[in-house]
Amino acid sequence: MKDTGRITTLPPRRGGRRRLSLVAGGAGFIGSHLCRALLDRGDSVLCLDNMQTSRASNLLGLQSDPNFSFLRWDIVDPLPPEVLAKTPRIGRIYNLACAASPPLYQRDPEHTMLTNVVGTNHLLHLAEEAGARFLLTSTSEVYGDPDIHPQPEDYRGNVNCTGPRACYDEGKRAAEALAFDYARAGRAEVRVARIFNTYGPNMDPADGRVVSNLICQALRGDELTIYGDGSQTRSFCYVSDLVAGLMALMEAEFDGMEPVNLGNPVEMTVNELLEQILGLAGGRMRVVNHPLPVDDPRRRKPDISRAQELLGWQPRVPLSEGLAATYAWFEAEVGTCASEVGQVR
Protein backbone atom coordinates (compact mmCIF):
# COMPACT_ATOMS: atom_id res chain seq x y z
CA MET A 1 0.00 0.00 0.00
CA LYS A 2 1.23 3.45 -0.88
CA ASP A 3 0.02 6.03 1.58
CA THR A 4 2.03 9.05 0.65
CA GLY A 5 -0.69 10.93 -1.14
CA ARG A 6 1.46 10.86 -4.29
CA ILE A 7 0.89 9.01 -7.52
CA THR A 8 3.56 6.38 -7.43
CA THR A 9 3.29 4.75 -10.83
CA LEU A 10 2.77 6.96 -13.83
CA PRO A 11 0.87 5.21 -16.59
CA PRO A 12 2.87 4.82 -19.79
CA ARG A 13 2.04 7.12 -22.65
CA ARG A 14 2.13 4.64 -25.55
CA GLY A 15 1.42 7.51 -27.91
CA GLY A 16 -1.63 8.45 -25.84
CA ARG A 17 -3.57 5.44 -27.07
CA ARG A 18 -4.40 3.85 -23.75
CA ARG A 19 -7.55 5.21 -22.23
CA LEU A 20 -7.21 6.37 -18.65
CA SER A 21 -9.97 5.14 -16.35
CA LEU A 22 -10.21 6.63 -12.88
CA VAL A 23 -11.57 4.29 -10.22
CA ALA A 24 -12.47 5.90 -6.89
CA GLY A 25 -12.61 3.24 -4.20
CA GLY A 26 -10.45 1.05 -6.42
CA ALA A 27 -8.71 -0.67 -3.51
CA GLY A 28 -11.99 -1.98 -2.14
CA PHE A 29 -13.61 -5.35 -2.69
CA ILE A 30 -15.42 -4.64 -5.97
CA GLY A 31 -13.08 -1.81 -6.96
CA SER A 32 -9.98 -4.00 -6.96
CA HIS A 33 -11.65 -6.52 -9.29
CA LEU A 34 -12.78 -3.67 -11.54
CA CYS A 35 -9.24 -2.23 -11.71
CA ARG A 36 -7.93 -5.68 -12.69
CA ALA A 37 -10.56 -6.09 -15.40
CA LEU A 38 -9.91 -2.60 -16.82
CA LEU A 39 -6.16 -3.29 -16.95
CA ASP A 40 -6.83 -6.63 -18.63
CA ARG A 41 -8.90 -4.79 -21.24
CA GLY A 42 -6.00 -2.47 -21.98
CA ASP A 43 -6.90 0.66 -20.00
CA SER A 44 -4.56 2.62 -17.85
CA VAL A 45 -6.06 2.86 -14.40
CA LEU A 46 -5.74 5.61 -11.82
CA CYS A 47 -7.03 4.33 -8.50
CA LEU A 48 -8.05 6.72 -5.72
CA ASP A 49 -8.83 5.31 -2.31
CA ASN A 50 -8.70 6.73 1.22
CA MET A 51 -8.08 3.20 2.57
CA GLN A 52 -10.82 3.76 5.15
CA THR A 53 -12.31 0.32 4.62
CA SER A 54 -10.24 -0.99 1.70
CA ARG A 55 -7.53 -3.58 2.23
CA ALA A 56 -3.94 -2.82 1.30
CA SER A 57 -3.53 -6.42 0.16
CA ASN A 58 -6.11 -5.83 -2.57
CA LEU A 59 -3.56 -3.53 -4.25
CA LEU A 60 -0.67 -6.01 -4.25
CA GLY A 61 -1.44 -7.67 -7.57
CA LEU A 62 -2.36 -4.36 -9.18
CA GLN A 63 0.68 -2.34 -8.29
CA SER A 64 3.02 -4.55 -10.27
CA ASP A 65 1.16 -3.51 -13.43
CA PRO A 66 2.90 -0.56 -15.14
CA ASN A 67 -0.46 0.79 -16.31
CA PHE A 68 -1.79 1.05 -12.77
CA SER A 69 -1.27 4.03 -10.49
CA PHE A 70 -2.57 4.59 -6.99
CA LEU A 71 -3.19 7.73 -5.01
CA ARG A 72 -4.32 7.64 -1.42
CA TRP A 73 -7.00 10.30 -1.44
CA ASP A 74 -10.33 11.05 0.17
CA ILE A 75 -12.75 12.31 -2.48
CA VAL A 76 -14.52 14.44 0.13
CA ASP A 77 -11.50 16.73 -0.29
CA PRO A 78 -11.11 18.69 -3.52
CA LEU A 79 -9.21 16.62 -6.07
CA PRO A 80 -5.48 17.32 -5.95
CA PRO A 81 -3.32 18.75 -8.76
CA GLU A 82 -1.89 15.31 -9.57
CA VAL A 83 -5.37 14.17 -10.58
CA LEU A 84 -6.47 17.42 -12.21
CA ALA A 85 -3.33 17.39 -14.34
CA LYS A 86 -4.56 14.17 -15.94
CA THR A 87 -7.97 15.60 -16.84
CA PRO A 88 -7.42 15.57 -20.63
CA ARG A 89 -6.54 11.87 -20.59
CA ILE A 90 -9.42 10.66 -18.42
CA GLY A 91 -12.11 8.91 -20.45
CA ARG A 92 -14.02 7.02 -17.77
CA ILE A 93 -14.67 7.72 -14.09
CA TYR A 94 -16.03 4.95 -11.88
CA ASN A 95 -17.15 6.04 -8.42
CA LEU A 96 -17.09 3.10 -6.00
CA ALA A 97 -15.89 5.16 -3.04
CA CYS A 98 -17.84 4.68 0.18
CA ALA A 99 -17.79 2.36 3.15
CA ALA A 100 -20.57 -0.08 2.30
CA SER A 101 -21.32 -2.22 5.33
CA PRO A 102 -23.58 -0.86 8.08
CA PRO A 103 -21.17 -1.07 11.05
CA LEU A 104 -18.45 0.65 9.04
CA TYR A 105 -20.48 3.40 7.36
CA GLN A 106 -22.21 4.14 10.67
CA ARG A 107 -18.94 4.80 12.45
CA ASP A 108 -18.73 8.27 10.92
CA PRO A 109 -22.12 9.00 9.37
CA GLU A 110 -21.21 12.60 8.53
CA HIS A 111 -18.27 11.35 6.46
CA THR A 112 -20.47 8.72 4.80
CA MET A 113 -22.95 11.36 3.72
CA LEU A 114 -20.26 13.74 2.50
CA THR A 115 -18.46 10.95 0.60
CA ASN A 116 -21.64 10.30 -1.33
CA VAL A 117 -22.64 13.90 -1.94
CA VAL A 118 -19.50 16.03 -1.94
CA GLY A 119 -17.21 13.24 -3.17
CA THR A 120 -19.56 12.32 -6.00
CA ASN A 121 -19.88 15.98 -6.91
CA HIS A 122 -16.10 16.36 -7.12
CA LEU A 123 -15.92 13.42 -9.53
CA LEU A 124 -18.89 14.63 -11.56
CA HIS A 125 -17.21 17.98 -11.92
CA LEU A 126 -14.04 16.23 -13.09
CA ALA A 127 -16.12 14.26 -15.62
CA GLU A 128 -17.57 17.54 -16.87
CA GLU A 129 -14.11 19.07 -17.23
CA ALA A 130 -12.67 15.95 -18.86
CA GLY A 131 -15.62 15.20 -21.12
CA ALA A 132 -15.44 11.78 -19.47
CA ARG A 133 -18.26 9.36 -18.87
CA PHE A 134 -19.12 8.89 -15.19
CA LEU A 135 -20.52 5.79 -13.50
CA LEU A 136 -21.96 5.94 -10.00
CA THR A 137 -22.20 2.73 -8.05
CA SER A 138 -25.45 3.24 -6.23
CA THR A 139 -27.05 0.48 -4.26
CA SER A 140 -30.10 -1.65 -3.67
CA GLU A 141 -30.23 0.22 -0.34
CA VAL A 142 -31.97 3.07 -2.18
CA TYR A 143 -35.02 0.76 -2.04
CA GLY A 144 -34.76 0.58 1.76
CA ASP A 145 -36.96 -2.16 3.20
CA PRO A 146 -38.93 -2.75 -0.01
CA ASP A 147 -42.60 -3.58 -0.09
CA ILE A 148 -42.53 -4.95 -3.63
CA HIS A 149 -40.51 -7.90 -4.93
CA PRO A 150 -38.46 -8.08 -7.01
CA GLN A 151 -37.47 -4.40 -7.13
CA PRO A 152 -37.56 -2.73 -10.55
CA GLU A 153 -35.70 0.54 -11.04
CA ASP A 154 -38.83 2.67 -11.03
CA TYR A 155 -39.77 1.51 -7.53
CA ARG A 156 -39.28 4.58 -5.34
CA GLY A 157 -38.25 2.69 -2.24
CA ASN A 158 -39.11 2.58 1.43
CA VAL A 159 -36.19 4.30 3.14
CA ASN A 160 -36.25 5.69 6.67
CA CYS A 161 -34.48 9.02 6.28
CA THR A 162 -34.15 9.53 10.05
CA GLY A 163 -32.54 6.22 11.03
CA PRO A 164 -28.95 5.04 11.48
CA ARG A 165 -28.75 3.63 7.92
CA ALA A 166 -29.88 6.90 6.36
CA CYS A 167 -26.36 8.33 6.05
CA TYR A 168 -25.69 5.64 3.45
CA ASP A 169 -29.12 5.08 1.90
CA GLU A 170 -29.99 8.76 1.63
CA GLY A 171 -26.41 9.61 0.70
CA LYS A 172 -26.67 7.28 -2.29
CA ARG A 173 -30.10 8.63 -3.24
CA ALA A 174 -28.68 12.15 -3.11
CA ALA A 175 -25.69 11.06 -5.21
CA GLU A 176 -28.07 9.65 -7.82
CA ALA A 177 -30.01 12.91 -7.84
CA LEU A 178 -26.77 14.84 -8.44
CA ALA A 179 -25.64 12.51 -11.22
CA PHE A 180 -28.94 12.72 -13.08
CA ASP A 181 -28.91 16.50 -12.72
CA TYR A 182 -25.49 16.63 -14.41
CA ALA A 183 -26.86 14.40 -17.18
CA ARG A 184 -30.08 16.40 -17.58
CA ALA A 185 -28.09 19.59 -18.00
CA GLY A 186 -25.73 17.97 -20.51
CA ARG A 187 -22.78 18.53 -18.17
CA ALA A 188 -21.63 14.90 -18.22
CA GLU A 189 -22.65 11.51 -19.55
CA VAL A 190 -23.64 9.44 -16.53
CA ARG A 191 -24.44 5.84 -15.77
CA VAL A 192 -25.99 4.77 -12.46
CA ALA A 193 -25.76 1.16 -11.29
CA ARG A 194 -27.74 -0.05 -8.30
CA ILE A 195 -25.66 -2.88 -6.93
CA PHE A 196 -27.25 -5.72 -4.97
CA ASN A 197 -25.42 -8.09 -2.61
CA THR A 198 -22.08 -9.15 -4.06
CA TYR A 199 -19.54 -11.64 -2.78
CA GLY A 200 -16.18 -13.10 -3.75
CA PRO A 201 -12.45 -12.92 -3.07
CA ASN A 202 -11.10 -9.61 -1.65
CA MET A 203 -14.12 -9.11 0.61
CA ASP A 204 -13.12 -7.56 3.88
CA PRO A 205 -13.40 -10.33 6.49
CA ALA A 206 -14.21 -7.66 9.07
CA ASP A 207 -16.99 -5.72 7.41
CA GLY A 208 -19.83 -7.73 8.82
CA ARG A 209 -21.42 -9.12 5.65
CA VAL A 210 -23.30 -12.36 5.90
CA VAL A 211 -21.19 -14.34 3.40
CA SER A 212 -17.82 -13.30 4.85
CA ASN A 213 -19.04 -13.58 8.45
CA LEU A 214 -20.33 -17.12 8.02
CA ILE A 215 -17.32 -18.36 6.03
CA CYS A 216 -14.84 -16.92 8.53
CA GLN A 217 -16.76 -18.33 11.48
CA ALA A 218 -16.86 -21.73 9.79
CA LEU A 219 -13.14 -21.59 9.04
CA ARG A 220 -12.38 -20.74 12.65
CA GLY A 221 -14.72 -23.37 14.03
CA ASP A 222 -16.68 -20.70 15.88
CA GLU A 223 -20.40 -20.63 16.29
CA LEU A 224 -22.17 -19.22 13.21
CA THR A 225 -24.16 -16.02 13.67
CA ILE A 226 -27.54 -15.52 12.04
CA TYR A 227 -29.36 -12.21 12.53
CA GLY A 228 -33.06 -12.71 13.05
CA ASP A 229 -34.45 -16.16 12.28
CA GLY A 230 -32.60 -16.41 8.95
CA SER A 231 -35.80 -16.31 6.92
CA GLN A 232 -34.91 -12.91 5.42
CA THR A 233 -33.86 -13.25 1.81
CA ARG A 234 -30.87 -12.01 -0.14
CA SER A 235 -29.65 -12.43 -3.70
CA PHE A 236 -25.92 -12.93 -4.03
CA CYS A 237 -23.98 -11.99 -7.14
CA TYR A 238 -20.45 -13.22 -7.72
CA VAL A 239 -18.02 -10.35 -8.12
CA SER A 240 -16.83 -11.23 -11.63
CA ASP A 241 -20.41 -11.08 -12.88
CA LEU A 242 -20.93 -7.74 -11.17
CA VAL A 243 -17.76 -6.22 -12.62
CA ALA A 244 -18.75 -7.37 -16.11
CA GLY A 245 -22.09 -5.63 -15.56
CA LEU A 246 -20.47 -2.38 -14.45
CA MET A 247 -18.19 -2.28 -17.49
CA ALA A 248 -21.05 -3.15 -19.85
CA LEU A 249 -23.16 -0.39 -18.34
CA MET A 250 -20.34 2.14 -18.63
CA GLU A 251 -19.85 1.34 -22.32
CA ALA A 252 -23.54 1.00 -23.22
CA GLU A 253 -24.77 3.62 -25.65
CA PHE A 254 -27.99 5.06 -24.28
CA ASP A 255 -28.98 8.36 -22.72
CA GLY A 256 -28.06 7.14 -19.23
CA MET A 257 -31.13 8.74 -17.69
CA GLU A 258 -32.23 5.55 -15.96
CA PRO A 259 -30.52 3.69 -13.13
CA VAL A 260 -29.80 0.02 -13.83
CA ASN A 261 -30.04 -2.78 -11.26
CA LEU A 262 -27.06 -5.11 -11.23
CA GLY A 263 -27.32 -8.24 -9.14
CA ASN A 264 -28.26 -11.86 -9.16
CA PRO A 265 -32.01 -12.46 -9.14
CA VAL A 266 -31.65 -15.94 -7.59
CA GLU A 267 -33.22 -15.27 -4.20
CA MET A 268 -32.55 -17.40 -1.16
CA THR A 269 -33.01 -17.18 2.56
CA VAL A 270 -30.02 -16.56 4.78
CA ASN A 271 -30.67 -20.05 6.20
CA GLU A 272 -30.25 -21.57 2.72
CA LEU A 273 -26.93 -19.74 2.34
CA LEU A 274 -25.93 -21.07 5.75
CA GLU A 275 -26.61 -24.65 4.61
CA GLN A 276 -24.31 -24.23 1.59
CA ILE A 277 -21.51 -22.84 3.73
CA LEU A 278 -21.93 -25.63 6.27
CA GLY A 279 -21.63 -28.02 3.34
CA LEU A 280 -18.32 -26.45 2.27
CA ALA A 281 -17.03 -26.47 5.84
CA GLY A 282 -18.00 -30.11 6.13
CA GLY A 283 -18.48 -30.20 9.87
CA ARG A 284 -21.12 -29.82 12.58
CA MET A 285 -21.29 -26.30 13.89
CA ARG A 286 -23.38 -24.40 16.39
CA VAL A 287 -25.60 -21.66 14.98
CA VAL A 288 -26.77 -18.75 17.16
CA ASN A 289 -29.49 -16.27 16.32
CA HIS A 290 -29.01 -12.58 17.17
CA PRO A 291 -31.59 -9.76 16.94
CA LEU A 292 -32.03 -8.11 13.55
CA PRO A 293 -30.33 -4.71 13.24
CA VAL A 294 -32.48 -1.57 12.91
CA ASP A 295 -33.99 -1.06 9.44
CA ASP A 296 -32.54 -4.34 8.14
CA PRO A 297 -34.42 -5.25 4.95
CA ARG A 298 -36.51 -8.43 5.08
CA ARG A 299 -36.28 -9.20 1.39
CA ARG A 300 -34.01 -8.05 -1.38
CA LYS A 301 -34.12 -9.29 -4.95
CA PRO A 302 -33.28 -7.35 -8.11
CA ASP A 303 -35.43 -7.14 -11.17
CA ILE A 304 -32.67 -7.18 -13.79
CA SER A 305 -34.81 -7.03 -16.92
CA ARG A 306 -33.48 -3.55 -17.74
CA ALA A 307 -29.87 -4.76 -17.57
CA GLN A 308 -30.75 -7.79 -19.68
CA GLU A 309 -32.41 -5.67 -22.35
CA LEU A 310 -30.01 -2.74 -22.33
CA LEU A 311 -26.71 -4.53 -21.79
CA GLY A 312 -27.42 -8.14 -22.70
CA TRP A 313 -26.01 -8.85 -19.26
CA GLN A 314 -26.94 -11.40 -16.66
CA PRO A 315 -25.02 -13.26 -13.95
CA ARG A 316 -23.37 -16.50 -15.08
CA VAL A 317 -21.59 -17.88 -12.01
CA PRO A 318 -23.79 -20.22 -9.95
CA LEU A 319 -23.72 -19.77 -6.18
CA SER A 320 -22.13 -23.19 -5.57
CA GLU A 321 -19.20 -22.26 -7.81
CA GLY A 322 -18.81 -18.71 -6.50
CA LEU A 323 -19.07 -19.79 -2.88
CA ALA A 324 -16.45 -22.49 -3.38
CA ALA A 325 -14.02 -19.95 -4.89
CA THR A 326 -14.76 -17.50 -2.10
CA TYR A 327 -14.38 -20.14 0.58
CA ALA A 328 -11.02 -21.18 -0.90
CA TRP A 329 -9.84 -17.56 -0.96
CA PHE A 330 -10.82 -17.03 2.68
CA GLU A 331 -9.14 -20.30 3.56
CA ALA A 332 -5.87 -18.99 2.09
CA GLU A 333 -6.43 -15.70 3.96
CA VAL A 334 -7.53 -17.41 7.13
CA GLY A 335 -4.91 -15.78 9.33
CA THR A 336 -6.38 -12.39 8.53
CA CYS A 337 -9.84 -13.79 8.88
CA ALA A 338 -9.16 -15.21 12.31
CA SER A 339 -7.62 -12.05 13.64
CA GLU A 340 -10.04 -9.53 12.16
CA VAL A 341 -13.50 -10.96 12.11
CA GLY A 342 -15.89 -9.47 14.58
CA GLN A 343 -13.84 -6.36 15.00
CA VAL A 344 -15.29 -3.32 13.39
CA ARG A 345 -12.39 -1.19 12.36
Q: Does residue 109 bind a copy of itself (CB under 8 A)?
A: yes
Contact 32, 58 (CB under 8 A): yes
Q: Does residue 150 bind a copy of itself (CB under 8 A)?
A: no
Q: What is the C-alpha separation between 280 and 214, in angstroms, rounded? A: 11
> Which one of the listed residues 94, 105, 143, 168 is annotated catalytic?
168
Q: What is the C-alpha separation between 268 and 224, in angstroms, rounded? A: 18
Q: What residues between 177 and 196 interact with a copy of itself by CB under 8 A?
A: 177-178, 180-182, 184-185, 192
Q: What is the C-alpha separation between 40 and 249, in angstroms, rounded? A: 17
Cβ neighbours, 10 Å, residue 177: 11
SS3 302: strand
Q: Does residue 167 bind a copy of itself (CB under 8 A)?
A: yes
Nearer residue to a copy of itself within complex by CB, 170 or 340: 170
Q: Does residue 293 bind a copy of itself (CB under 8 A)?
A: no
Nearer residue to a copy of itself within complex by CB, 180 or 329: 180
- DSSP string across 10-23: PPP-GGGTSPEEEE
The distance of closest approach from Cβ of residue 198 to a copy of itself in the complex, given in angstroms and rounded to an integer, is 21
Nearest to 9 by CA among 59, 56, 55, 54: 59
Nearer residue to a copy of itself within complex by CB, 25 or 119: 119
Q: What residues between 251 and 290 interact with a copy of itself by CB under 8 A?
A: 257-259
Q: What is the C-alpha separation between 198 and 165, in angstroms, rounded? A: 19
168 part of the active site:
yes
- Residues that bind a copy of itself in the complex, under the rule CB under 8 A: 109-110, 113-114, 117-118, 121, 142, 144, 156-164, 166-167, 170-171, 173-174, 176-178, 180-182, 184-185, 192, 257-259
Q: Which residues are catalytic?
A: 168
